[in-house]
């Protein structure tokens, strides 16, 4: 953890200020230590360079398991640059704006888009509920100068309200118990005038997978992992044929192609079939969430079900739970 992250952090329980006690430092950062709420006296540990505001993975359990499998094949992820072409069309951000202020990624996973945003010049804070996800992200990008990682629950964010310049979440909010509530939980942390972008599943993209998830989400993770390996080993050749993607209506699975090696496809399928929650939403519904949350300049982006909006200038949060000076 970098000391300047303290400018943003508060207690997620009461929004009170935190004190910092570092017990070990390395690479100019805090490897281990304790954050203590000055109002309630609650301690939050810093371990492995990451401040941790949760003690369990809750609804992100399947993603933690997936990240254990990811670690076995992490060299493929380190070479993956597919996020470079996705980031700007999915968020609607401009590359130039990322160099100013602080950007928040909600649900950073192993750090795929943290890496992209940081290379574009962002000071980026990535959060994730999953222990294994945040530790993979730390290994991947955590020691970079302009990267901060925090393990927390997005429904109890440990940040000062009105403190983030822009926020985004790509493919994460639909895996929470309530996608709309997850979106609304982010809004007040963005500064007035700041922008928020999310991308969530569209119904057309998940018809087959969600039928299968009735069974696969209940399987032991080791059994599902074996199924995903077999699915790719047996049927990749069909998906590689002209029109072969239609086979996914029968058995969903990632198709072979440039930048999609075997193990990335296997783990992508596990990610697709294992979550307890995988809600789907239409563009008009998501746009309405933004408008009803009081955002303006709401725009549906070229990537289907990606929406961006701006928090109205002058609409600073006035909640009584804000930290006291």
CATH architecture designation of domain 77-202+280-311: 3-Layer(aba) Sandwich (3.40)
What pLDDT is attached to residue 320? 37
Residues 130-141 pLDDT 10s: 998 999 999 999
Three-state SS for the chain is: CCHHHHHCECCCCCCCCEEEEEEEEECCEEEEEEEEECCCCCEEEEECCEEECCCCCHHHHHHHHHHHHHHHCHHHHHHCCCHHHHHHHHHCCCHHHHHCCEEEEECCCCCHHHHHHHHCCCEEEEEECCHHHHHHHHHHHHCCCCEEEEECCHHHCCECCCCEEEEEEECCHHHCCCHHHHHHHHHCCEEEEEEEEEECCCHHHCHHHHHHHHHHCCCCHHHHHHHHHHHHHHHHHHHCCCCHHHHHHCCCCCCCECCECHHHHHHHHHHHHCCCCCCCCCHHHHHHHHHHCCEEEEEECCCCCEEEEEECCCCCCCCCCCCCC
Residues 17-69 pLDDT 10s: 999 999 999 999 999 999 999 999 999 999 999 999 998 765 555 555 666 67
Look up the pTM and report it.
0.90
What pLDDT is attached to residue 31? 97
Annotated domain spans of the chain: 1-52, 77-202+280-311, 207-273
What pLDDT is attached to residue 83? 86
Residues 202-225 pLDDT 10s: 999 899 999 999 999 999 989 999
What pLDDT is attached to residue 77? 75
Taking 50 as the pLDDT cut, the residues of the chain under it are 318-325
């Amino acid at each position: 953890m970098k000391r300047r992250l303290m400018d943003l952090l508060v207690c997620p329980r009461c929004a009170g200020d935190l004190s910092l006690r570092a017990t070990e430092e390395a690479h100019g950062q805090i490897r281990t230590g304790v954050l203590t709420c000055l109002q309630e006296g609650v301690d939050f540990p810093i371990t492995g360079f990451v401040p941790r505001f949760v003690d369990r993975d809750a609804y992100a359990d399947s993603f933690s398991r997936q990240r254990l499998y990811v670690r076995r094949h992490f060299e493929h992820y380190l070479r993956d640059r597919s996020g470079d072409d996705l980031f700007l069309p999915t968020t609607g951000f401009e590359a130039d704006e990322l160099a100013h202020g602080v950007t928040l990624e909600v649900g950073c996973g192993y750090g795929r888009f943290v890496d992209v945003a940081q290379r574009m010049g962002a000071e980026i804070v990535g959060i994730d509920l999953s222990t294994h996800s945040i530790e993979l992200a730390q290994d991947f990008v955590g020691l970079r100068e302009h990267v901060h990682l925090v393990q927390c629950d997005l429904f109890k964010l440990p940040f000062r309200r009105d403190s983030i310049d822009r926020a985004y979440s790509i493919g994460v909010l639909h895996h929470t118990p309530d996608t709309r509530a997850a979106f609304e939980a982010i809004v007040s942390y963005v500064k007035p005038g700041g922008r928020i972008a999310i991308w969530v599943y569209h119904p057309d993209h998940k018809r087959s997978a969600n039928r299968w998830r009735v069974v696969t989400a209940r399987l032991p993770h080791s059994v599902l992992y074996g199924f995903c390996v077999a699915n790719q080993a047996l049927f990749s050749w069909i998906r590689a044929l002209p029109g072969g993607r239609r086979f996914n209506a029968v058995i969903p699975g990632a198709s072979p192609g440039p930048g999609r090696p075997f193990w990335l496809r296997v783990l992508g399928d596990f990610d697709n079939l294992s979550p307890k929650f995988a809600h789907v939403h239409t563009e008009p519904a998501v746009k309405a969430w933004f408008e009803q949350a009081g955002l303006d300049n709401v725009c549906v982006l070229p990537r289907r079900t990606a929406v961006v909006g701006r928090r109205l200038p002058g609409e600073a949060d006035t909640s009584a739970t804000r930290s006291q000076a």
